[in-house]
Structure 1
Amino acid sequence: MPTNGQHRPNSILDLLEQPPPPAVEDATRLARLRTAWRESWEEGGFLYQRWEEVLQARHAGWHEIANWIKAAGLLAGVCLIVIMVDAASDITSAALKGLSAVPASDAGAGHGLWGTVDHPVRVFLAQQAAHLPLAPAALYAFWQLTGLLGLIGGFFGNAGARIAWTLFGCGSLAMVWSASPAGGRAAATGLAALMWALASIFALRGLTLRPVVHNHPPQFQPQFNPALHIHATIPAPTPAGDDYDDEPDSIHPLQR
């Protein structure tokens, strides 16, 4: 009953119905969370089972791995691919801008071993760009990028990159032959061929002209088990005391 304007509980039920103080409620919630966390790591708990699936995934095949691990791995792989593609696009854009800033032809670029091969290429591209809606620097940058990608991709065994590297070398030799001075055309082209052959050691690493023969046993091997089957007819034994000689010829004993 209320006393001095305050309600005093007069039974145990009234005490249970009253809401607990905030401090007691927070302590109860924290105790429940600790209990749930401890029980989830016990044998048969949720986190215990997930951790066992992670440990088993190291030695299990793809079909035996838990579905949530597959989904997490695929999601992480997609995110990694997106990040790598974004970074590669930025690097490629910066490289193209840097290569485009290089002049297509330089009067002093024809000196030296590399200039003997590179200068005719620049001159050839500059001459061809005059008839195309492209800048000479763009053609030269594309030529350099094709060679770089063919060299790197061929080193890692990519078939398309090796084809691009082969076409890059043939085209470079043709450009050197066309734009080199007439007196040193053969020497410049031969030098370019040697430099391309040396670089092909890395671009065509592991490539062989021998045919690869795979000897795989046939999946189905017929088995022959010869067997000889002999069918013999065994006459029935003649009963004792029965003589068929004195019977007419039209009557014969029954044979099995």
Structure 2
Amino acid sequence: MPADKKPVNGQHRPTGNAVPPASPRPLARLRTAWGTAWKDGGFLHQRAAEVRRFWRTGWDDAAVWIKNLVLIAGASTVVLIVGTAADIVTAVLDRLSAAPAMDVADLDGVDSGGLWGAVDHPIRAYLADQAAHLTVTPAALYRAWQAAGLIALVGGFFGNAGARLTWLLWGATSVVMVWSATPDGGRAAATGLAALMWALASIVALHGLTLRPVVHHHPPQFSPNVHVHGTSAPASGSPDDTPASTVTRPRQH
């Protein structure tokens, strides 16, 4: 019997044993697209060529997408470093802020013996005495003094000029406070000890700083050009019958 060619639901049924072609699988399409992208002129082939050119020629001739990628990666790294440093500083300041508030009368009970106590106790006493005339607690002044020294020490180690200047002012101020608040009997010893500790800590804060002047040697430069300017011969009967010439010697710069 002949096959029924009447449409069913608006569509013609396949006649005979005809089978519709099977659509390619997604994995096969992905494999084909991957191979096409790596062929000459393909998208991935061009990007790989740009990366190789970047390694050969450097930043100036790099593609725009490579520059953007490097800038984004650098900015992300800086943000990560700044965030980590901020967390560390915050933790340190929180640890310093845990120190209880104290007055001048409470300083005698502070356990600050040893060499560090000879420097720390006069500073606490000086700040507590000054806080009595200010709208701030002695503990807040003491924490601010500690935080300023810590920030200046870390910043000076990394070569920051402002941090190094702050470190110098912080150390000089600390020595003055020790001199002012130490009793007369041990004033000289405590001040000398404070200056010695400050000098030892300056090895870290002023790391890499040198006072040796930088001398630039510039070799003399000679001009190889010699200019000879001739003049016309004088008229007959002139006292000077020899033609004159002017020779320009090489100039030394």
- Same fold by TM-score, threshold 0.5 exceeded? yes
Q: Structure 1: how far apart are the matches of 2:174 and 2:130? A: 14
CA shift for structure 1 position 200: 1.2
1:148-195 CA-partner distances (Å, limit 9, x unpaired): 222222222221111111011101001111111121111100000011
Q: CA separation of 1:205/1:39 partners in 2, compared to 1, >3 Å: closer, same or farther?
A: same
Aligned to 1:243: none
Is 1:97 the counterpart of 2:94? The answer is yes
Quick one: percent identity of the two aligned structures? 55
Instruction: State whether residues 101 and 137 of structure 1, in contact with CA within 8 Å, keep that contact through their aligned partners in structure 2.
Output: no
CA shift for structure 1 position 223: 6.0
1:4-28 CA-partner distances (Å, limit 9, x unpaired): 999433599xx79x7x6xxx3352x
Q: CA separation of 1:207/1:83 partners in 2, compared to 1, >3 Å: closer, same or farther?
A: closer
Q: CA separation of 1:228/1:116 partners in 2, compared to 1, >3 Å: closer, same or farther?
A: same
CA shift for structure 1 position 146: 1.6
For the residue of structure 1 that corresponds to 2:228, the secondary structure is coil
Instruction: State whether residues 110 and 119 of structure 1, in contact with CA within 8 Å, keep that contact through their aligned partners in structure 2.
Output: yes
Q: Which amino acid aligns with 1:227?
A: V
Provide the aligned length of Structure 1 versus Structure 2: 224
Map of 1:14-93 to 2, 5 A cutoff? 24-27=22-25, 29-93=26-90
Q: CA separation of 1:133/1:160 partners in 2, compared to 1, >3 Å: closer, same or farther?
A: same
Aligned to 1:146: 148
Aligned to 1:246: none
Larger Rg: 1
Q: CA separation of 1:116/1:103 partners in 2, compared to 1, >3 Å: closer, same or farther?
A: farther
Bigger shift: 81-90 or 167-176? 81-90
For the residue of structure 1 that corresponds to 2:230, the secondary structure is coil
Is 1:188 the counterpart of 2:190? The answer is yes
1:194-213 CA-partner distances (Å, limit 9, x unpaired): 11111112222232223223
Aligned to 1:165: 167
Query: TM-score, structure 2 length as denominator?
Result: 0.75
Give me the CA root mean square deviation.
3.2
Instruction: State whether residues 102 and 137 of structure 1, in contact with CA within 8 Å, keep that contact through their aligned partners in structure 2.
Output: yes
Q: Which amino acid aligns with 2:164?
A: R
Of residues 117, 135, 138, the one that matches 1:136 is: 138
